[in-house]
Amino acid sequence: MGGLGRPYLYLLGSIFYSNYQIKGVAARGISLVGAMAIIEGTVERITFRNEDNFYTVFKLLASTGDLHTCVGNLPRIVVGEELKLFGEWTKHEQYGLQFNTETAIPCTPTTTLGIERYLGSGLIKGIGPSTAKKLVEKFGLKTLDIISNEPHRLTEVEGIGEKKGEIIAKAFLEQKDIQDVMVFLQGNGITPTYAVKIFKVYGKESVQIVQENPYRLADDIFGIGFKTADTIAKNIGFKEDDPHRIRAGIRYALGQAIEQGHTYLPDEELIKTASELLGVDVKKDFLAELGKAKQLIIEEDRCYLPSLYEAECNVAQRLKELTRYVPSLPFDLSIESEFKLAPEQEQAVKAAMQEKVLVITGGPGTGKTTITKVVLTMWEKAGFKILLGSPTGRAAKRLAEATGRPAKTIHRLLEYGFGNGGMSFQRNEDNRLKGDALVLDEFSMVDIRLMDSLLKATDDKMRLLFIGDCDQLPAVGPGNVLKDLIASNRIPVVRLTKVYRQAEQSQIVMNAHRINQGYFPEINNQGDFVFMERKEPKEIATLILDLVSSRLPSHIEKRFNLSDPLDAIQVLTPMRRSETGVDNLNRLLQARLNPAGKKNEIQLGYRLLREGDKVMQIRNNYQKDVYNGDIGRITRIDPEERLLEVLYNDENGDRLVNYEEEEIDELTLAYAISVHKSQGSEYPIVVMPVTTQHYMLLQRNLLYTGITRAKKLVILIGTKKALFLCIKNNKTSARYSYLANRLQEE
DNA sequence: GACTTTTT
């Protein structure tokens, strides 16, 4: 049974026992013993159904006359259908005795009533309840035989002409096709959900297509990747060195590289990773072959997926086009004096007046916001219509607050939405953005694809101002856009180095700079930068708990004049899993800081939320005006109504936001959050583990981003070795990208 | 040693 996934079989409107079905049932017979039970009956009522995952709660009227509550993931179910269910009885806390269905096989209806209900269920196009009634009145128990074997006799029924008879017979046969396909697919390790998706795309050719080249599934079916396709291929007897497998594997390897941030891979490296991945020696000829088939773009030794090659070339070409046109505005000294600019900042504003495309980069506290405000004021004075955007919802909100002007996410700016048969940007080369200038903040988070979309939608005459911190974490998506623009030396750049916001003697700032330059931070634990040595992950977690629950809070009021420790202290950690990861720390911190008691709670899946919990919104919600990364406190949970209320505190003061049950998955515990999530936010005090447990994520810019989130105090806990590894690992800047070179090409 | 995550 290996590789078959869940022992799960469901036949769509099965009437015929085809070969596939017999094989399928026989194969599963082994597992239908022991704890498994079998019940049979008619579907009486569907109580609940989720069309996304086919989770269904229904009542089954058994032949004994009992009415059973049954649950399970059934891709297709209709009232009146007779089903044989394989599964086990379970006891649900709230709903009592239930039959948990693993496998459901529709039975051929055995009574005239069953046949009538089955045919009239809507399962077969062209037959409704009244036609079903007439058919059964005429043919009785033989109705189904006649539809499939003697369809011409259907005209004997009053009201059914030749045409309608044909439609009915055809729809009935289609059901049989679906059934065959479903049985074949499910028999080869494909879950019912995907079997339905596959059938929707390939129709009755599904079996043939999958048998010929299961790797096509990875291209054609959303949600099926190389791994699943490979499992299916194995099941139906594909060899490890099958050319289909190798070609698909090469593209998968390239896809993996893209997930790591590369825009291309050099051919040698692609061959090496593909060979390792497939467990087969991949010959270089395959690359050339894929190149010929346009499934790969090969430029010298660089191998690209076509979409990324286009994106990278277009970004370079578009930037060259846009910079060709050079406008100039006078630099207005009267505004400058209002804002009191330092020389470096003045230079940045001047550049923004003169350049068509400009990059301003600098760390926290170097005055990026001030500069932005001055530039906006001056541009507005010149009568410019200005667009403001950020890669994330939260950053857009902050930009709007900081500048007092509307700002949107880049996605909203480009009107991401349904069109052209799918989700896409409605602002594009055919429908460009209107305006004189576009200002983008947190530009380090923009990847090559988004940059491509953005430049396509940018009007030729529009000025572009990109603002970001090139030492922060790179974009999640592929490319190194900000760093490449800077490295190319073809785009005007202003680098802000002087820190104005934090006191010069701040060790946070000083050490952030040291780390950036690859030096070990100065640690004397006298100032605002503290390192506490702990080796074992357990010790680290314990120390974090102690610090956050008792040791720090007693200091907070005296030293920092902060009242609420929960607001003031933020635990940051590089990853989700592991003992010192987000999930575990949240569990521990919730138990310590907000233990169970008289407070109301709500349990959703594995997540437990309690009144008083510190939570974070993890999706933009424009109706509620809360954004991915916003942190608040649960003030009330109504377990009866399954409602929840969160208090957010932002520039506009306190604000209560209500969540209904189905919206609660937009929230997660936020006692500890990932460093990635913290990007763009600042906290008075940051506590962060630095341990070799997080080996893969010990990166310089991750450490840099983490510590620069702290305004007053940062406490690192872990080993000097881990800290050292972090600082030495500058690999993220070594993403394969050719954008800088393309910008330099004439 | 295998990890982070944006957008609608």
Nearest nt to A418, CA vs C1'? B8
Closest CA to B2 C1' — which residue? A696
3-class SS of residue A717: strand
User: What pLDDT, on the 0 to 100 scale, is given for residue A478?
Assistant: 93
User: What pLDDT, on the 0 to 100 scale, is given for residue A123?
Assistant: 65
| Contacts of residue A361, Cβ cutoff 8 Å, sequence gap at least 6 | A467, A468, A469, A470, A482, A486, A493, A494, A495, A496
Q: How far is the CA of A691 from the C1' of B1 (A)?
A: 13
User: What pLDDT, on the 0 to 100 scale, is given for residue A733?
Assistant: 56
Nearest nt to A692, CA vs C1'? B1
Q: How far is the CA of A556 from the C1' of B8 (A)?
A: 41
User: What pLDDT, on the 0 to 100 scale, is given for residue A14?
Assistant: 32
Distance CA A452, CA A394 (A): 22
Q: How far is the CA of A323 from the C1' of B3 (A)?
A: 38
State whether the Cα torsion A659-A665-A669-A675 is positive or negative. Answer: negative
Residue A617 CB neighbour total at 10 angstroms? 25
Q: How far is the CA of A40 from the C1' of B4 (A)?
A: 48
pLDDT digits (tens, 9 = 90+) for A584-611: 999 999 999 999 999 999 987 778 999 9
3-class SS of residue A644: strand
Nearest nt to A411, CA vs C1'? B7
Q: Is-contact A28 A9, C-beta < 8 A?
A: yes
Distance CA A20, CA A177 (A): 12
Nearest nt to A694, CA vs C1'? B3
Distance CA A350, CA A324 (A): 19
Residue A576 carries which side chain, given as an amino acid letter? R
Q: Is-contact A320 A743, C-beta < 8 A?
A: yes
User: What pLDDT, on the 0 to 100 scale, is given for residue A16?
Assistant: 29
Q: How far is the CA of A323 from the C1' of B7 (A)?
A: 27
Listed by range, residues with Cβ under 7 angstroms from strand B are: A 259-260, 391-394, 409, 411-412, 416-417, 423, 445, 447, 450, 476-477, 574-577, 581-582, 618-620, 627-629, 674, 676-677, 692, 695-697
| Contacts of residue A724, Cβ cutoff 8 Å, sequence gap at least 6 | A520
User: What pLDDT, on the 0 to 100 scale, is given for residue A591?
Assistant: 95
Residue A226 CB neighbour total at 10 angstroms? 22
User: What pLDDT, on the 0 to 100 scale, is given for residue A504?
Assistant: 62
- Nearest of A83, A72, A20 to residue A50 by alpha carbon: A72
Q: How far is the CA of A434 from the C1' of B5 (A)?
A: 31
Q: Is-contact A87 A75, C-beta < 8 A?
A: no
Q: How far is the CA of A21 from the C1' of B5 (A)?
A: 43
User: What pLDDT, on the 0 to 100 scale, is given for residue A10?
Assistant: 38
Closest CA to B7 C1' — which residue? A411
Q: How far is the CA of A703 from the C1' of B1 (A)?
A: 20
Nearest nt to A417, CA vs C1'? B8
- Cα-only R_g, chain A: 31
Q: Is-contact A606 A668, C-beta < 8 A?
A: no
Distance CA A699, CA A716 (A): 15
Closest CA to B3 C1' — which residue? A696
**Nucleotides in chain B near protein beta carbons (<7 Å):** 1-8
Query: What is the β-pairing status of strands A357-362 and A493-496?
Result: parallel
Nearest nt to A473, CA vs C1'? B4
Nearest nt to A408, CA vs C1'? B7
Q: How far is the CA of A620 from the C1' of B7 (A)?
A: 9
Q: How far is the CA of A583 from the C1' of B3 (A)?
A: 15
Closest CA to B5 C1' — which residue? A476
Closest CA to B1 C1' — which residue? A695
User: What pLDDT, on the 0 to 100 scale, is given for residue A27?
Assistant: 31
Q: How far is the CA of A19 from the C1' of B7 (A)?
A: 47
Helices (H), A562-649: 565-568, 582-593
Q: Which residue has the tokens 């006359």?
A: A65
User: What pLDDT, on the 0 to 100 scale, is given for residue A534?
Assistant: 95
Nearest nt to A674, CA vs C1'? B4
Q: How far is the CA of A394 from the C1' of B3 (A)?
A: 24
Q: Which stretches of chain A score pLDDT less than 70?
A: 1-36, 51-53, 75, 106, 108, 121-123, 176, 179, 183, 186-187, 189, 191-193, 333, 335-336, 501-504, 732-733
Distance CA A66, CA A19 (A): 33
Dihedral over alpha carbons A269, A272, A275, A281 (to 10 degrees): 120
Q: Residues for chain A: how many in total?
A: 746
pLDDT digits (tens, 9 = 90+) for A682-726: 899 999 999 998 887 888 989 999 999 998 999 999 999 999 999
Q: How far is the CA of A426 from the C1' of B3 (A)?
A: 34
Distance CA A3, CA A545 (A): 43
Nearest nt to A583, CA vs C1'? B4
User: What pLDDT, on the 0 to 100 scale, is given for residue A289?
Assistant: 95
